[in-house]
């Protein structure tokens, strides 16, 4: 059976969410995205999130998701590949390469000259895959900082 890779629609949120959760668990984390949030992100013109889904006979096998961003260093727009994931029983069948090529083709058709992403340092298989696909590495440490949901601590002025 052939594997189809196509642009994900807001109606694909239900099929994407289990893959997103599986991806987060694989990377030793958890996904808090909801179906409604995902549906909204995939909506709009342009959408906040561009995603592609790989499926066989309507069964989702993997996905890639990206956002368009801007680099102040290069002064250019780039495609930030937020996720690329293929279910463990489907790896090695070329699905990841097809998803990556689809994202790369999307970027090229929009005049975007570069893609950027990260993968956990321990994920040797992904690192080998990306290098085999022509990517180069950049050493950085990724940080996260919650902006909401934290209480501010007010200092008392000494009298």
**Euclidean distance between CA atoms 26 and 85, whole angstroms:** 10
**What residues have CB less than 8 Å from 62, skipping those under 6 apart?**
19, 53, 54, 84, 85, 86, 87, 90, 95, 96, 99
pLDDT of residue 41: 97
Q: Residue 158: which pLDDT band, with cuts at 50, 70 and 90?
A: very low
Higher pLDDT, 108 or 154: 108
Q: Residue ranges of the domains in the chain?
A: 4-132
Digit-coded pLDDT (tens) for 10-57: 999 999 999 999 999 999 999 999 999 999 999 999 999 999 999 999
Centroid of chain to Cα 22 = 13
pLDDT of residue 141: 79
pLDDT of residue 16: 97
**Among the listed residues 99, 106, 44, 102, the one whose alpha carbon sits nearest the alpha carbon of residue 79:** 106
Digit-coded pLDDT (tens) for 63-101: 999 999 999 999 999 999 999 999 989 998 999 999 999
Digit-coded pLDDT (tens) for 109-132: 999 999 999 999 899 999 999 999
Asked: is 4-132 a CATH 3.40.630.30 domain? The reply is yes
Whether the link from the prior residue into 83 is cis, omega within 30° of 0, is: no
pLDDT of residue 149: 64
DSSP 91-135: TTSSHHHHHHHHHHHHHHHTT---EE----TT-HHHHHHHHHTT-
70 bridge partner residues: 77
pTM recorded for the entire structure: 0.87
């Amino acid at each position: 059976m052939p594997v189809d890779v196509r642009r994900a629609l807001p109606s694909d949120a239900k099929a994407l969410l289990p893959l997103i959760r599986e991806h987060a668990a694989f990377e030793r984390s958890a996904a808090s995205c909801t179906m409604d949030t995902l549906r909204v992100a995939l909506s709009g013109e342009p959408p906040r999130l561009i995603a592609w889904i790989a499926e066989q006979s309507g069964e989702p096998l993997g996905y890639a998701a990206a956002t368009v961003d801007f680099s102040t260093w290069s002064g250019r727009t780039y495609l930030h590949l937020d996720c690329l994931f293929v279910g463990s029983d489907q790896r090695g069948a070329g699905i990841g390469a097809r998803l990556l090529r689809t994202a790369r083709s999307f970027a090229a058709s929009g005049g975007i000259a570069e893609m950027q992403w990260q993968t956990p340092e321990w994920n040797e298989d992904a690192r080998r895959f990306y290098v085999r696909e022509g990517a180069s590495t950049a050493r950085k440490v990724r940080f996260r900082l919650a902006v909401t949901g934290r209480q501010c601590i007010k200092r008392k002025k000494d009298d």
